[in-house]
Amino acid sequence: MAAPTLESSVELGETKSWFYLRENHGGRPFLRLRFRTGSPSVERRLKSRIMEHIGSLDDGDVFEYQPYNHEHDWLGGTAGLGLAEAFWTETTPLALQTLRSTRGHRALRLAVAFDFLVCSGVLLAPRLPDPIAKFGFKAGYLSYLATFEGYMLLIRDPEGTRAKHAQRYEQNKHLLRPRLRELVEAMRDPEGDLADVSELAREWTLRLRSYYPAIQEGFDKGRFYLYATPRKSETAKLMPSPDGLYRRPKVEWLADLPEPPVAGIHRAIADNKFYQGMIREDRRFLASRLAQAYTNWHLYRLGFLLADRYTLYYLISCAFEEEFDLDAAEMIRSVRPEAEVAG
């Protein structure tokens, strides 16, 4: 409802640029609209258009200025915000194209998200530190699996949730595995024109690739940071214990539950000194995580929830492991602990 007004304003020369994000603050979901315009009438028309759509609510309950949440501090920190906003602006047309082409077809939208997550992982894999990049495209799913297993530590029924995901994968693996292989083949040269990648995934991957040098430079020059290297206590979320293991956090709403078993990938990470140093300090790894964060936020722009993101992570991880006969824990154990970390 907002896009046509802002798109028209850009065409008329009233507005220089705009983007949108879907966010959540204090349990309240909202749509963030940021636009650069010299015409006060643009905001008035935009508010009028939105009110026509939602009905008779008082506009004081609909529109308000909302500062960025701490999540945006994690997108490189304050120094990285300008780059992130430029990226959101440049990819908003792609997000709208995806929404419009998949309207009313959630399964199709999930399939599109599967594509661009796989392509993002394959794109970022060779940009990781050399001991990990040596695995090539196979390294493209490691962060998805590790993040999914971290999610299992934050929910009350990890066994039931895992079983539901496993059932979903079994029902769809006849589609997911060949699709994964097709995407990997199309991404065989991540630096090429990606002509064989599907249109929406290709456009997304090219955009992300074009921003990667600036992301890496931000870390190389010490201007960017992530939650992996927190500067403030409020940016700390699920962090490893002193022994390197990720464990269920001590929060009231999980206090009555037994300690869950340690995931194989988390045990392998904890036992590998190089990997421990890499996830905390290596600039190449941190740059890849920030690029992945851009991808995660794009998921939210497409209307997906956090649970959808973890569902996709699980499906991608299972497809990688079955289609290419991989074991994430074994891959990580094979990395030499004495390898150099680019801190």
Residues in a beta bridge with 37:
15
DSSP strands (E only) in the chain: 15-25, 28-37
- Which one, of 330, 318, 295, 303, lies nearest residue 135 by Cα? 330
pTM: 0.89
- Which one, of 311, 35, 280, 265, lies nearest residue 172 by Cα? 311
pLDDT tens string, the chain, 343 residues long: the values are 678 878 888 888 888 888 999 987 777 788 888 888 888 888 888 888 888 777 655 555 678 887 776 656 668 888 899 999 999 999 999 999 999 999 999 999 999 999 999 999 999 999 999 999 999 999 999 999 999 998 998 888 999 999 999 999 999 999 999 999 999 999 999 999 999 999 999 999 999 999 999 999 999 999 998 764 444 444 445 566 666 676 666 777 777 777 777 889 999 998 998 888 888 889 999 999 999 999 999 999 999 999 999 999 999 999 999 999 999 999 999 998 665 666 5
- Whole-angstrom Cα distance, residue 17 to residue 90? 9
Q: What are phi and psi of 108, to 5 degrees?
A: -65, -40
Give the model's pLDDT for residue 228.
47
Q: Is 225 exposed, middle or buried (0-12, 13-18, 19+ CB in 10 A)?
A: buried
